[in-house]
Amino acid sequence: MEIRPLAVPPYRGFRTASREGEAAAAALEDFPGFLRSPEAETLQAGRNQVIAVRLSPDRDAVVKIFGTRGVQKWKTLLLPSKGLRAWKGALALVENGFETAEPIAVFERRRGGIAVESVFISGRVRGGREIREHFLQSSEAVLRRLLSSLAPVLARLHGRGIVHRDLSDGNILVFENEEAAAAPAGGGFRFLFLDTNRVRRRRPGIFNRARNLVRLGVPPGLQPFFLDQYAAAAGGRFRRRRFGLSYRISKRVFISWLAFKKRLRLRALARRLRIQ
């Protein structure tokens, strides 16, 4: 994937070489003008904005505009902004053969070395279902096929040295191919990863592999099957017992932490203190 510099004063960043040529490139250089187009659709408002736009007649995109405040703002003196992390995470996935919304461009506006705003633009994804819908609605037979498709993808993800730090039910889109219904044991499903600002290049050990999976809402009765499928896909001398034990311990800790946060309302407190 060819990467080119992008300068839209006061923003600076990068873009991928556009298949659509000059039309999409010109639209990017008009930022933020194209956000005021009658076709632009606000999908999320607030400190972080998500806006659907049309960059060219053949290219629909999603623009994520990240603001910074509190501790997070000062972190950008040394660390990449949220927009740049989303860009790097998407590239890591694409370069290693995993599906995500196509990365189109990223740019930052900095003041005194601090990223006061960052923007990540990706292709608009249509179709697919959040994996949570399958966990809540699909039959056990369908879930077994789905998990036997998902587990090798996640094992390969970790094997390539990539960790999605928010591998939750809302961040995996499932696309079901026509042959899925007839597949007796796996196959027929594709998975697309969202929220790429949480993706990191990092080769996890056994414990961190297991811990990375606990946010997924795999039904308890199918968790042993899911772990077996993952371990089989990891292959080699993969330590299954240690992996299973690490998963069970991490899952209990995660569930307890969620209950603790809910009781103390830590997320709301962090926002009031402007540390998140």
Sketch the domain layout of the chain as residue ranges.
3-123, 129-263
**Cβ(274)–Cβ(73) below 8 Å:** no
- The encoded tokens of residue 193 equal 């990863």
Average pLDDT, the chain: 89
| 129 within 8 A of 211, measured Cβ to Cβ | no
The yes-or-no verdict on residue 61 having pLDDT over 90 is yes
Architecture of domain 129-263: Orthogonal Bundle (1.10)
* pLDDT at residue number 138: 95
The residue type of 155 is: A
pLDDT over 90 percentage in the chain: 68
Stated pTM of the model: 0.89
Question: Residue 215 and residue 21: Cα distance in Å, rounded?
Answer: 40
The answer to whether 31 and 107 are in contact (CB under 8 A) is: yes
CATH class of 3-123: alpha beta
Q: How confident is the model at residue 257 (pLDDT cuts 50, 70, 90)?
A: confident
Write the CB contacts of 191 (distance below 8 Å, at least 6 apart in sequence). 99, 131, 149, 150, 153, 172, 173, 174, 175
Q: Specify which residues 12 forms β-bridges with.
A: 7, 108
Instruction: Give pLDDT tens digits for 148-203.
Output: 999 999 999 999 999 999 999 999 999 987 544 444 444 689 999 999 999 999 99
Mean of pLDDT values over 109-136 = 94
CA dist 268 and 151 (Å) reads: 34
Enclosing H/E stretch for 63: strand 59-67
